[in-house]
Structure 1
């Protein structure tokens, strides 16, 4: 695997993504959808639907008329379609910056844990606004990579001690958009009104150190893709550095917290 792959990560295995971070995004998605307070019977679009976590949450908690989930990864779309089965939902492989949707065709666009990965943040939000009817909602959430997403902060702090080059791949430094100020400015810059930012904190409790460490060996996601580039000695050194750093409770479990930043705005009209 070359350095480019280590930076961008691999997004082809839905099961490995679930074990790495998907399982922790579910409680975030539930609170996110609840806080939006969208009335029943609306048309939703989930941009960057991944394995279907946010789509399934909308179906379960928002009583939508319909939900379309789109993602660039055919493998993730296939995983979502196999696990989220409902007559109101459809999934398509598509680019978040070129949505297969007519102007003003939906009432709500949501996007979970995707915005920071896109090559053009303003273009992305402008495209999302394009497909929302006047008065509709655009909303997103991203991990707080620089602080409150503790499972990743611990990882990159240890990785940088083991190999200095890891510092340039640290998501906390690479994704400055993942903070309330930049997110709010991005949405206001797209012409959205009533822009509100917030945070959601959820517990991430691992049964033991293996439950924490093993998902980093799966290759799906930025940190796991970085681990895949390491030789045996560096990988062992990273594992042991993490073992020394993580706060282990008397029963062997590891209790951390994951924070997501949220942002929403309304299409004028």
Structure 2
């Protein structure tokens, strides 16, 4: 009887430890997945809804200010973390925010600053390719989640950026229109100089666009953002960790990069210009991505 009780206790203890290890493994897998995935792979962007205050908290470690110096002139823009890979942090912003290869610094909400390097610059010749990928050394911040499905007119959104140098400022509005075959979003959320490159976020906490332009010297209720349709295509084609996570895709990724570099005769991807194609924005998107 005593031997039976002894073995029973051993069995219970082993069961407990195995369950604990499995739970810990699942937790670690979830954390790692959250760190690397930068686009929506589930319905979470459809089913969640937060207040503006909650969206602010979600985005605090994801949105950054970008400082550049061109010909002794200081400029400020915005950006957001898109991924971590090989002990580096990748950030999306507008091409027109980083019109220089040097003197690019990002500033976090806590005041810390890092020097950034350009990975990809679309040169901003059209609305669609006014997009750039930069990176910093080390793992900082957390990646945003880009919504998989198109947004819809009337949805409430939040724009975050550094308008006129006022770092990490928030404005809210709605999706006013979807333009250029779904590649551009019009919003009445305030978008001013310095907002460029920052995220446009639904109240699900998911990014649906990259703020890129406002009409007029100050906010007129007419702002524009590159849509999540474009951002998702960009992430899937040019972000290293996405290519490495998908079997059979790494070779395509490397071939595309090498072809672009060879085409431009430079040591990195740059000067990729979208050609005019009779306002066929889908064709432009295919050409770019």
TM-score for the superposition, normalised by structure 1? 0.23
Relative to total residues, which structure has the larger strand share, 1 or 2? 2
TM-score for the superposition, normalised by structure 2? 0.22
Relative to total residues, which structure has the larger helix share, 1 or 2? 1
Structure with greater contact order relative to length (CA < 8 Å, sep ≥ 6): 1
